[in-house]
Amino acid sequence: MRFCRLAGAEPYLAANLRSLPAGEFDRWVEYCNSPEGSTTLADLRKAGGSPQSFNVQYWGVGNESWGGGGEFTAQEYAVEFRRFSSWLPSYGPELHLIPSGPNDDDWNWTRGFLEEISRKRSADRSGIYGLALHHYAWDLSRGIPQIGTTGNGDAIKFDPVDWYELLHQGNLMEGLIEGHWQVMGEFDKNHAIKLIVDEWGPSYKAGSEATPGDLLEQTPTLRDAIFAA
């Protein structure tokens, strides 16, 4: 929260839907957003050095729930999303709820989730702010990465074939956005629900990180800048 304030950014937090009960999500919202002196969790926040509420608007309800976030089917996850988001207190700021969306071109996840959500209430009145899409680019010229690992390519040692392969993978993003947007329109004709790409980019094998073992510190190069552009 301190970093967000210093950077002028809005915080975006994700509830652990896999291992915590729904009531804990309520408590996290209360801790972050309840006004000073209004609840015991507001007092706890003050004791930690932040008397003013954080006013967190953006909340992920789970993360990658198709994989390590619970191994749910789209329909199972839709039920969990409803359970976690029903009667959620806001304590002031409007909450923008972002469910765990598809991985890459999994059109069935997007369709199955929205179809199940729509059984209880129309998609545009479901309380969903946006659907999260994840896509990581692997250098597939060196094979398919093993489950639970990063990509096979090297972050700083690459040849022209590696260049083109990675940029080809990055170019797939437009098709993913257009494809999922079309599926979302089947249930949300006016596109009230946004499509949010909140995890994306190249991923490489270990070896270039500034701190050995910390895969989030892979060294970026000009190739990654062009990929992002």
> What's residue 99's pLDDT?
97
Mean pLDDT of 207-221: 86
- At which residue do the structure tokens 């988001």 appear? 85
pLDDT tens across 189-201, in order?
999 999 999 999 9
Q: How far is CA 57 from the centre of its chain?
A: 14
In angstroms, rounded to a whole number, what is the distance separating the alpha carbons of residues 177 and 202?
17
Domain count, the chain: 1
Closest CA to 93 of 43, 123, 52: 52
Whether the CA torsion 12, 15, 17, 18 is positive or negative: it is positive
| The two three-digit tokens of residue 136, written as one number | 């990581």
In angstroms, rounded to a whole number, what is the distance separating the alpha carbons of residues 98 and 114?
13
CATH of the domain at 168: 3.20.20.80
Domain span at residue 65 reads 2-228
Distances (CA, A) of 164 to 62, 139, 154, 168, 225: 34, 9, 14, 6, 14
> What's residue 146's pLDDT?
59
The answer to whether 77 touches 65, Cβ cutoff 8 Å, is: yes
Global pTM reads: 0.90
Between 125 and 56, the higher pLDDT residue: 56
> What's residue 46's pLDDT?
97
In angstroms, rounded to a whole number, what is the distance separating the alpha carbons of residues 67 and 112?
16
Between 76 and 161, the higher pLDDT residue: 76
User: Binning pLDDT at 50, 70 and 90, where does residue 76 land?
Assistant: very high
Mean pLDDT of 2-17: 95
Between 176 and 150, the higher pLDDT residue: 176
* Residue type, position 77, single letter: Y
> Residue 99 pairs with which residues in a beta bridge?
61
> What's residue 212's pLDDT?
84
Kindly state the percentage of the chain with pLDDT values over 90: 71
pLDDT tens across 27-54, in order?
999 999 999 999 999 999 999 999 999 9
Left (φ > 0), alpha (ψ -120 to 50) or beta: where does 164 sit? Answer: alpha
pLDDT tens across 168-186, in order?
988 999 999 999 999 999 9
Whether the CA torsion 118, 122, 126, 129 is positive or negative: it is positive
Backbone angles phi, psi at 82, to 5 degrees: -60, -40
pLDDT tens across 86-139, in order?
999 889 889 999 999 999 999 999 999 999 999 988 888 889 999 999 998 876
Q: How much is the mean pLDDT over the chain?
A: 91
The answer to whether 219 touches 212, Cβ cutoff 8 Å, is: no
Give the helix ranges, DSSP H, for 88-135. Answer: 107-117
